[in-house]
A and B are shown apart, each in its own frame.
Chain A
Amino acid sequence: MSALLSVRNLVVEYAIGGKTLSAVADVSLEVGKGETLGLVGESGCGKSTLGRAVLQLRRPTAGKVVFDGTELTGLDAEKMRLMRRRLQLIFQDPIASLNPRRCIGDIVAEPLIITGITDKAERDRRVREVLTAVGLDADLVTGRLPHEFSGGQCQRICIARALILEPELVICDEPVSALDVSIRAQILNLLEDMKRRYGLTLLFIAHDLAVVKAVSDRIAVMYLGKLCEVGPTEKLFAQPAHPYTALLLEAIPVPDPSVKPAANVPIGEPPSPIDPPSGCRFRTRCPRADAVCAEVVPPLEEIADGQFAACHHPLSAR
C-alpha cells in the first residue's frame, strides 16, 4: 500500500502570551491510499490542529506534509489553493459549517464555482448527483436554507459539499461528535459508502473509541501533541502496547451494571501543553513510569508487525 499522505516530523506551535504551545510536537505518520486512519486522543491533544496543519489551514512551524508526491508545506498560497480540491475537510459542527444565508444548492455548488466550472447545467447535474448520493432529495433541499435542517441532515450536506469535487483525501474532524447517538451510525455508514463509491482515503479524527473502531483500518493514538501508538485497529484493541492506549481502552464504559469500572484510570487532568513533562509526556499519569521516562523521549518504534509504540516499557513486552 503506497502512502497517499505522509506527515514527517510535523511541529505546530502557537504563541500564547510570550510562551509557545506546541500543539503538535514532532509527529510523523502515513496514510495509505484507500485507507482509513483513525486519530484519537483526549480534547486538547492536538488532533484537530494536526488535521488543519495537513491542509495548511494552519501553516506548520516545522516538518513536512507530503501529499501524493507533492510537498504541501513548500507550496505557495496560489498553488496550495489549486491543490485544495484534492483534499477536503468535514467539520465537527455541521450546522455552523453551513453559511446561514445561502441556500443549500449554492453551498454545495460553491466548490464547483471555485474550481471554475462555469456551465450551470453541469453544476446542477453534479449537485443533484452528490446530494442523491448522500441520501437527500435534490429537488426538496436545494432551495432551502441551512437552519431548516437537522444536525444529521446538515452533516449530509457538508459531506456532499466535501465530495462534489471528488477529492482523494478527506479529513473528518470529529464528524459525528456533535450528532445524536441515533444519527451517528447513519452518518458513519454514509461515510463508509462514500469511501467505497468515491475511492476515498480518510483521516478520521475523533475522541470516541467506539466510533473510531467502527470505521478505521488503522488507529493512531495521540497524547499532548505526540503520537503514543499506531497500529491496526484489531491489534490495537486486542493488545495495546502503550500504557495510555491501555488506559483509554479500559475507560470505555461497559454497558453492564455488574461490571465494576476500571480501577487504574489516569490520575487527574493532562498536564499543560505549554509546559509539557520532560522525557515521555505521559509519564506523570503513567502507572509504569520510572527514571528513564523522565529523561529520554521515547521514540516511536515497531514492537509488533505494523504496531508502533512510543514507550520505554511497552505492555506487550511483559
Chain B
Amino acid sequence: MVAVAETVRPLRRRRLPGSGTLSFIGRLFRDKPLGAFGFVICVFFLFCGIFADVLAPYGYNQISPINRLKPPSAQFWLGTDNLGRDMLSRCLYGAQLSVIIGLSAATLATVVSVLIGIVSGYLGGKFDMIMQRFVDAWMSFPDLIILIVVVSVVGPGMGPVIVLLGLLYGIGGSRIIRGAVLSVRENAYVHAAQSTGATMPRILWKHILPNVMAPVIVLFTTRVGAVILAESGLAFLGLGVPPPAPTWGGMLSGSGRSFMYLAPWLALAPGLCITIVVYAINVFGDALRDLLDPRMRGSR
C-alpha cells in the first residue's frame, strides 16, 4: 500500500502561463503595450514618491523670497510658487503624499465595497434588503457634509482623510460589486459548490470573488483617481492634509488657483501630475483586468 502511494506522481497544479510575477510582467509588455506604459508610469511615480528626499533639489517648504513666481528655468525646472518654493520638489514630495492617500484610500474603499457587495449580493433576501437600504441612506447624504462633520470632530490629517474617503467611496461602490455578484451567483458552478456542501466563506472566496475581479479592478483604478481629486477638494476647504504639506490637490487648489493667470505653471505642474497618474492607473487597470481573465490568455 505504501509502495503504491509512493509511485503516484504528484499532479501538476498549474500549467498556466503567467502565474508568476515575472512572467506576468512579461506578458503585460508583450500583449498589452499601453497597459505596460501605464505600469511604467505608476512605477516611476512610486519611485519619485519613495525617493523624494533624495531626488528633490530643494525642501518642499524651503522658502526663497527673491525667487517668487519664477517661470520654469534651469534652476527651477517647474518654476516656483508665490512663496518662492521649488515646484519640482513640491511635486515630488506631493507624489509621496498623493500616492499614499490615493492607494490606501482606494484600497480601503475597494475592500469595503467587496465585503459589503459580496456578502449582500450572495446572501440576498432580508439581509440584502436591509444592507441595501443602509447603503441607500448613506449615499443620499452629500459626501461633503459627512466629511466636514467628521473632520471638524477628529481634526484634519492624513489618517482621517484616508479612512473617510475609503468608507465614503467604499459603501457607494458596493452597489457595483453586488450587481456583479447577483449574476455570478446564479452560475452552475456556484450551485455545484453548494450541492457539494461547500461552506459560505469558501464559495465567496473561491468561486464568487475570482469571477467578479473585473469590476473590482475597474472600481479600484477609478477610485485612485477619484480619491486624489477628492483630497484636493478637501484641501481647498482646509479639511485635507494641512499645509504646508505638499499634496497635489492642495497645490492645485491653493496657490495654483490663486495665481493661475500670473503663473500658470503653478496649476499645470500638479494638474499634469494628477492627470498622468490617474491615466496611467486606468490603462494599467484595464490591462490587468484583461490579463487576469483566463479566456483572454493567448489573445490580444
Contacts and interface: CB of A to CB of B under 8 A. Distances in A.
Given A138-B11, A147-B294, A85 B5 contact: no
Interface string B37-61: 0000000000000000000000000
The contact size tier of chain B is 20 to 34
Contact of B14 (A84, A91, A143): A143
A105 B8 CA distance: 15
A209 B297 CA distance: 40
A101 B210 contact: yes
A111 interface: yes
Contacts of B196: 84-85, 88, 110-111, 114, 161, 165
A98 interface: yes
Contacts of B294: 100-101, 145, 147
Interface string B210-243: 1100000000000000000000000000000000
A172 to B, nearest CB: 12
A139 B202 contact: no
A114 B197 contact: yes
Interface in B72-124: none
B295 A100 contact: yes
Given A88-B196, A124-B11, A99 B202 contact: no
Contacts of B195: 55, 57, 84, 87-89
A121 B14 CA distance: 16
Contacts of A254: none
A97 B11 contact: no
B197 to A, nearest CB: 4
A37 interface: no
A267 to B, nearest CB: 34
Contacts of B125: none
Given A110-B196, A128-B8, A99 B295 contact: no
B153 interface: no
A85 B210 CA distance: 25
A1 interface: no
Contacts of B13: 103, 105-106, 142-143
A81 B199 contact: yes
A317 interface: no
B300 interface: no
Interface of A: 55, 57, 80-85, 87-89, 91-93, 96-103, 105-106, 110-111, 114-115, 120-121, 124-125, 127-128, 138-139, 142-145, 147, 158, 161, 165
B5 A125 contact: yes
Nearest to B196: A111
A81 B196 CA distance: 8
Contacts of A125: 5, 8
A124 B4 CA distance: 13
Interface stretch (B27-35, B184-192, B278-286): B184-192
B295 A89 contact: no
Nearest to B6: A121
Nearest to A96: B188
B10 A91 contact: no
B257 interface: no
B289 interface: no
Nearest to A100: B294
B181 to A, nearest CB: 14
B133 interface: no
Nearest to A127: B11
B14 A103 contact: yes
B194 interface: yes
B10 A124 contact: yes
Given A99-B187, A144-B15, 13 more contacts: A80-B197, A84-B197, A88-B195, A88-B196, A96-B188, A99-B207, A103-B13, A106-B13, A110-B198, A124-B10, A139-B9, A139-B11, A143-B16
A114 B294 CA distance: 24
A158 B193 CA distance: 11
A50 to B, nearest CB: 14
B100 to A, nearest CB: 31
Given A96-B189, A99-B189, A110-B196, A143 B15 contact: yes
Contacts of B12: 105, 139, 142-143
Contact of A124 (B8, B188, B189): B8
Contact of A93 (B188, B197, B211): B188
9 contacts: A99-B189, A99-B193, A103-B14, A121-B5, A124-B8, A124-B11, A139-B9, A142-B13, A161-B196
7 closest A-B pairs by CB: A143-B15, A84-B197, A97-B188, A101-B210, A96-B188, A99-B189, A81-B197
Contacts of A82: 197
A254 B116 CA distance: 56
Contacts of A83: 197
Contacts of A142: 11-13
Contacts of A165: 196
A93 B186 CA distance: 13
A102 B8 contact: no
A91 B195 CA distance: 11
B189 A97 contact: yes
